[in-house]
Amino acid sequence: MRNTTPNTPSDLFVIGGGINGCGIARDAAGRGLSVTLAEMGDLASATSSASTKLFHGGLRYLEYLEVRLVHEALVEREVLLRAMPHISWPMRFVLPYHKDMRFESETPVSKMLGLAMPWMKGRRPAWLIRMGLFMYDHLGGRKILPGTATLSLKGTKEGAPLQARFERAYEYSDCWVEDSRLVVLNARDAEARGATIMTRTKVTHAQRDGALWRIETEDAETSAKATHYAKMLINAGGPWVGDVIHDKIDLPSREGVRLVRGSHIVTRRLYDHDKCYFFQGSDGRIIFAIPYERDFTLIGTTDAEHENPDRRPVCTPEEQAYLINFANQYFAKAISAEDVVWTYSGVRPLYDDGASSATAATRDYTLKVDATGGAPVLNVFGGKITTYRRLAESALEKIGAHITLKSGPWTAGVAMPGGDFPVDGFDALVQSLNRKYPFLGAVWARRLVRAYGTEAEALLGDATCAADLGRGFGATLTEAEVIWLMRQEFARTAEDVVWRRTKLGLRLSEEEISALDGWMASRRERADAAE
């Protein structure tokens, strides 16, 4: 770890190892700044592993006239897809249409329509959806992703899982992304470019000390305390952004964050094709049903106010029932609580724009610099996984007003670790890995390429059979992979491995996870003793 003193401060000290903190750290390190990042838990342990996992423009935001956000996000989808074709891929979304579909009545578009055509009040007519999709197709300058199509649902694979009353649908494109892996890859790349990444390290206090920040941290595992110095502080605390402002750095800021919980349920696979569904509810909200981890379906999300960031978000029985009932308005075969194999929940740290409902609060980001009392601090509010790279560029623009940057924006077009292969080269990479390591078989090879891309070979080394990869922990997770995750990807516990670096928690038993945890703990102890 690089030690910072008043004589050798970092340029930046980043609080928060979610997507925004890690994205800013990577961009800044690549421009020659010295960066230290502290994350109190694991990387992506809060909101950035609990999203719907879409690189998307956000079709529904058009109803809120968030055109800037939608435009930026649509353009960004393909920039990101090219940089990480292993952890991100195109998906088609099927939006079944029925004439009873309803708006959330408070959206600007709904209000305008109600004024111009009072008989349409509260309705979401087909022509309006087509208009929205036309904008969605054309705002983002697509080159890779196919445009909108109209589908007949009768007798088709897309119609098969749905109730017969749905006869027509629209289909459009967005992308999937493995959110927690995206965060880790940003952190790794930041580290490779010189940043210091500290996980399980909580910032307990920071105060201005002349032209510098003096930052106090505490190690969550050993309780060891440390002091760091930096020229500028970046508050990317996500749901804790307000807590950092008011309780950790004592800033007299009036900016507020609005915490909105969103929950998902995961069921066994509900249908046999690889497209997603976009369902519109009678309450004007929308949810997605998405093919997930080959054998499962992901359904979400909800919007619920969440008062306290320290209260761990969980999918409440009410939210679970809401999602089940919502999906049952569409699927022919009703699902029930017994079909749910896993749930997860996250808290959106939205900029408080005074919107009436949680659904209506802006999903755009806001960056605020405070330099009134000496050394500057940048507070990050809101944002999407999709716009993290652009958010980081905007942050660097603000940072550049206080610290000289050695170069300009650089991250567009630069591959993430393991993502240096063509955007349509995934299948070829799986085949080539399978040729070199025939013992893997198709399913295992696919999983490894999805996670590690071109780095899968480095992980496997010169193994010629599964036994060469060491102990097996179940579901194709081997000692070699766990060691890779501990050495290269900051993993410390079984939870880091089975719920964030991978989603093998869906396939491993509690006993297997606990055995993995024990093995990792003893390896950690040996490594710590050797240091």
CB of 353 to ligand FAD, least distance (A): 15
Per-residue tokens: 172: 């459009």
CB of 519 to ligand FAD, least distance (A): 25
Query: Which residues inside 20-39 make contact with ligand FAD, applying CB under 6 A?
Result: 20-21, 38-39
CB of 20 to ligand FAD, least distance (A): 4
- Are the beta carbons of 19 and 44 closer than 8 angstroms? yes
- Distance from CA of residue 429 to its chain's centroid? 25
Side-chain half-sphere of 507: how many Cα atoms within 13 Å? Answer: 15
Q: Tell whether omega for the bond before 476 is within 30 degrees of 0, i.e. cis.
A: no
Task: Please identify, among the stretches 345-353, 429-437, 499-507, 509-517, the one whose residues bind ligand FAD according to the rule CB under 6 A.
Answer: 345-353
CB of 387 to ligand FAD, least distance (A): 7
Candidates 439, 490, 489; CA nearest to 460 is: 439
Instruction: Indicate the residue whose CB is closest to ligand FAD.
Output: 18
CB of 495 to ligand FAD, least distance (A): 14
244 contacts ligand FAD (rule: CB under 6 A): yes
Q: Which of 51, 379, 478, 493 binds ligand FAD (CB under 6 A)?
A: 51
Distances (CA, A) of 164 to 172, 184, 281, 286, 335: 21, 43, 17, 20, 17
Candidates 519, 481, 516; CA nearest to 501 is: 481
- Are the beta carbons of 115 and 32 closer than 8 angstroms? no
90 contacts ligand FAD (rule: CB under 6 A): no
Quickly list DSSP for 258-301: EEEEEEEEEEE--SSSS-EEEEEPTTS-EEEEEEETTTEEEEE-
128 contacts ligand FAD (rule: CB under 6 A): no
Candidates 407, 365, 368; CA nearest to 388 is: 365
Per-position x/- string for 305-344, each x denoting binding to ligand FAD as judged by CB under 6 A, each - no binding: ----------------------------------------
Candidates 355, 464, 17, 345; CA nearest to 200 is: 17
Per-position x/- string for 272-301, each x denoting binding to ligand FAD as judged by CB under 6 A, each - no binding: -----------------------------x
Phi, psi of 350 (to 5 degrees): -85, 145
Q: Which of 383, 418, 453, 505 binds ligand FAD (CB under 6 A)?
A: 383
Q: Which of 85, 90, 238, 419 binds ligand FAD (CB under 6 A)?
A: 238
Q: Which of 4, 9, 13, 19 binds ligand FAD (CB under 6 A)?
A: 19
CB of 120 to ligand FAD, least distance (A): 30
Residue number, 265 or 440, with CB nearest to ligand FAD:
265
CB atoms within 10 A of CB 198: 19
Taking the C-alpha atoms of residue 112 and residue 274, their distance in angstroms, rounded to an integer, is 36
Query: Which residues inside 248-277 make contact with ligand FAD, applying CB under 6 A?
Result: 248, 262
Q: Which of 384, 389, 447, 501 binds ligand FAD (CB under 6 A)?
A: 384
Phi, psi of 34 (to 5 degrees): -85, 130
User: Mapped to the 3 state alphabet, what secondary structure does 45-74 carry?
Assistant: CCHHHCCCCEECCCHHHHHHCCHHHHHHHH
Q: Which of 102, 202, 507, 524 binds ligand FAD (CB under 6 A)?
A: 202
Q: Which residue has the tokens 């088709």?
A: 156
385 contacts ligand FAD (rule: CB under 6 A): yes
Task: Please identify, among the stretches 41-49, 188-196, 396-404, 468-476, the one whose residues bind ligand FAD according to the rule CB under 6 A.
Answer: 41-49
CB atoms within 10 A of CB 40: 21
Residue number, 379 or 476, with CB nearest to ligand FAD:
379
50 contacts ligand FAD (rule: CB under 6 A): yes
Q: Which of 57, 237, 242, 291 binds ligand FAD (CB under 6 A)?
A: 237
CB of 83 to ligand FAD, least distance (A): 15
Judged by the rule CB under 6 A, the positions of this chain that interact with ligand FAD are 15-21, 38-41, 45-48, 50-54, 56, 202-203, 236-240, 244, 248, 262, 301, 346-349, 383-386
